[in-house]
Structure 1
Amino acid sequence: MSLRRWGAVLAGAALVAGAAVTPALAADPVAPKVTVAPATGLDPAGTKIVVKGTGFDPAANDGKGFGLRVGPAKADVRDRAGKDFQVSRLIKKGAVGSQIPLDDNGNWEYSVTVKAEYVASGTTYSAKKQPFSVFVFGWDTPVLTWDSTTPLKFTEAGDAATGLAWGLRHSWRNYVTRGGGTVTPSNGATLDTAAPNVEPYPYKWKYESSGEGTVSYTGQVTYTFEAHTIWDFTIADPRITFGGDGAGTLTAKVGYAFYGTKTAPEKVRTPSDVVLADLKLKAPAQAGDNVAVDIESAKLTAAGAAAFADFYKPGEALDTGRLVFPGKSGPAPTSSTVPTSSAPPTTTTSSSAPCVLTPDSVKQGNLLWGFKQSFRRYVGIGSGTSITASDGVEITDIDKIDGTGPPSGAYLWGFDSVQYKSATEFTTQFRGKVTFAYPAHSFELSIGRPKVVVAQGKGKLFADVELKTTSGAPSPPISQPGVELASLDLAAAKTTEGAGALSVAGIKVTLGNAEAFAKFYKVGEVLDEATVSLGASCAHLPGPGASGPGAGPGVSDDLVPDVKYRPDSALASTGADSGMWLLWGLVLVGAGLALVLVVRRRPAPGQRP
């Protein structure tokens, strides 16, 4: 008899006997499941896919999390040190930086643009030669419980589906959707979820026909925003007309009902054709059996402004886009070169607005900073010591020290907030706390919530510093929240901008407050270098130690990348010198601990403490 039937029998018996008996039945575990959409028909030049996972217990795999990689089925796809994948991310609860957040219910989601070919470590990987897949697996474990493989299928290189990729106007879509309105594509128009960096998404319009210097598409999109008395605004059936010399127009059916009440609107337009935009078109290009033409710019006409009930003025920019139709490319399309065709309608890829970092768009970031390597080593090799991270900071394998008990790598501090003016002037607050505990030496030191302030090539680093000591220690406890901890010098730092992200690497850090560490270090002591990364919500920040935004596929292909954090010998010598006070030493006397002395140690020539 099954467990559930036994439970039913026991419960029935309890009712008969008048006793309250509730058998403990274990809930069926939810099996891990991964979905990828879309997984077929991908544009080789780049398609945005959405990978979702359910049933991934955050406490499973000892809480280490799960790996996600995209690329060919190489032998090291599950290895901790696996390299040269197009995408590589760690999925875990309490994610920081570029990691994928895993919620308490075991769900996660990640969107990324994948291509059919990429270059990593000097090798070109092509889906034509080695099919690509989305791999999900338990991180750093031989257990296969969470493993899944989802093949990705790209269209033949050079092919492009017929259709029009165009979103009308991004600010209009944003205005309606963010305000609680509705957007309903229908009759051949769909949301173009493959378009990168442009949520709310633009649209894909089905190809209908071409001829006499025009290409026609079908579909309609209806907007409502009742809170602002927009009862209906519908745009349908866009048509491109080529005028030669790269010029063109976009005509569409437009109808609306505005203001007043829903049953008695003040302004009404019956759907009818209007020349909505003047276009500037790029030269046509062959795409398999089709012709592809990019819309370089689109400007609202006077008639188009009127069709918008004067929400926008004539000459204002509309979205760019891309049209694809059957034929052979040659000179710029005109009435004599645009063929007539009745090819079946399909969808198309899209051209989208660029991702740009501005004071309003910056929404993410991280700080890579390990405080001081010699201090991490000192605690890491001690007996009974610990180094722990909490509240949004991750201990990475970057600059880790061999032979330590606790993890001794540098720290990736999570993003909290930012005031951004430019790449040379910003203030950004990070999350997290790292605690160094050395019971045998009577102390516990915490550094938390670092804040970086940068202007004119200089800066300051603030942090919460707390020192807890036990009886007999040579220093009283210290608590200094938000103390000005260090000075920053960006003169030799490498600043990389692009694709909506900013990376400032190799920032020189020197101690500016000896009191915060009970004078263990002197003012001017060289601390570890730091890297600050910031990004717009549409940007993909590089992984820890990567070469910066726009570095290309493979820059963050290791979940914990094997990166040299110390670029030169000068940085490698930032251990303790003759100016450093070691914390203190204790020796065992009888059954207790007796404080001997604070030791000032001078290392032998060539020796690093």
Structure 2
Amino acid sequence: MSLRRWGAALAGAALVAGIAVTPAIAADPFTPKVTVTPGTGLDPAGTKIVVKGTGFDPAANDGKGFGLRVGPAKADVRDRTGKDFQVSRVIKKDAVGTQIPLGQDGSWEYSVTVKAEYVASGTTYSAKTQPFSVFVFGWDTPALTWDSTTPLKFTGIGDPDPGPGDTAAGLGWGIRYAWRNYITRGGGTVTPSNGATLDSSAPNVEPFPYKWKYGSSTGDSGKGSVSYTGQVKYTFEAHMIWDFTLADPRITIAGDGTGKLTAKIGYSFYGTKTAPEKTRALSDVVFADLKLKAPRQVGDDVVVDIESASLTKEGAGAFAGFYNEGEVLDAGRIAFPGKSGPAPTSGQPTSVPTSTPTSSVPATTTSSACVLTPDSAKQGNLLWGFKQSFRRYVAIGSGTAITASDGVEITDIDKIDGTGPPSGAYRWGFDNAQYKSATEFTTQFRGKVTFTYPSHSFELSIGRPKVVVAQGKGKLYADVELKTTSGAPSPPISQPGVELAALDLAAAKTTEGAGVLSVAGVKVTLGNAEAFAKFYKVGEVLDEATVTLGASCANLPGGSGPGAGPGSGSGSDDLVPDVKYRPDSALASTGVESGVWLLGGLVLLGVGLALVLVVRRRTA
């Protein structure tokens, strides 16, 4: 049923044409609310704050509870393995240890002293450069039902400005003014977080549009893509909009004056808050067709104005029929580090690209004065697909999924044809770097890739890879988490920041110039079997990687993907376990469905890290 047919009439004015009157619905006995006292005028040296919550159903979220974190809006703020926050606690009933007790009435309280600057894992986090907030969210779940963000204001420290409202790197875009107006005037809520903020400097009347934090960009010859981070959550419970969330917009620029805006969309509508009638998990949608003005150079950034935007068919579907295909969305402004190339010509919106560009926007020339130095290393990416045979194993399965979040992009590079879920290699976004030379650097990347195989009882996530290079060798660190269903023979695994792989740069191709360092063809071999319950051998070959670093004034080139040689694991035999793990002939009499092997425990397949769990047929 269309969202136009739901909702209550607002006295004196119809906020959006076509919304029909429906009977009032019963109030949910648990409506989450968070207060922070004090939240402003905080002493940068340290102030005690009291965080209180009400309306948090102890039985909600399968009883797993809720998360509380204080710090910057890092990409892993909602992740179970998120780290380096000033405060990180779990709120739940029957709390133990440092957990915050949750009362049967849904209330909780926590007091803590917060500062405007702190150091974690060798990194200094400061409210002078990135705003601090109190984040509350559902623990270990993608559901956004309980999410809230409360900014903290320190005396003498203004809000850092990521800049999309002006011309600094970032995206200034508000989705659609009528939508924002409908939600806010009707008493709904709008919550920007994780890199998205209200853009009060934009040339629009309230309700203000949003600033989206710059993530990464790759491109040449006026074509490419630019990724941004952040999410905006809308609720309007009187009209049964329990959640509508748009996150991590990505702009693809065609080079002819047109482009596409892709974003992750998730929602829960109608029914009741605890049992919504229509739901959508947060996932990518080609949301809007764009008409773009000519790029221009502003300092070290390229600025491209979005002259007009219109809703695609897929975008209309993601709005559950609230708007129609072709309806006008907000204009906006795209900005990213680099040098502008030739101006694109105007034209009509093009169809969705058949392949993901290997590069992001415009630049055919770069100033010779642009040099990569320890101070100027401000962008980059990691192209690494983990293991092609494992991607194939998951992608050809029934009911499987491969999803990317928090700043990583699934490309068409090294993809497997004929698969359901996207199966290409991954381009991980830049977080920070400590650069000394082309042979000695450390780079932290953002993003998480999750492989889900319900019929094989597992979900594997790999996130936040970090590359450390010195003297022709290196290490790759990452967060690894394995979730298994109840009764599975292998326990869950959570290894944040584990030393995952060894890197060999001896045969890699290193290129330097115009403020960019590219190291392609890096050999990657597994260096830690503990992260995978010792079912995978140290020294196993993974996909090759390409590391790119750039100065803030540089344009990152499009990188070539890893080859299909020994490192890519493309052979079909990779999906066959070693002899010692193979089932005997008794399998034929078990009635086990084809493709699910009867094993004594978790098996990480020979060359593919393919995860298979015991599946036994129950007898009547």
Report the TM-score, using the length of structure 1 for normalisation: 0.42
User: Quick one: higher RCO (CA 8 Å, sep 6+), 1 or 2?
Assistant: 1
Q: TM-score, normalised by structure 2?
A: 0.42
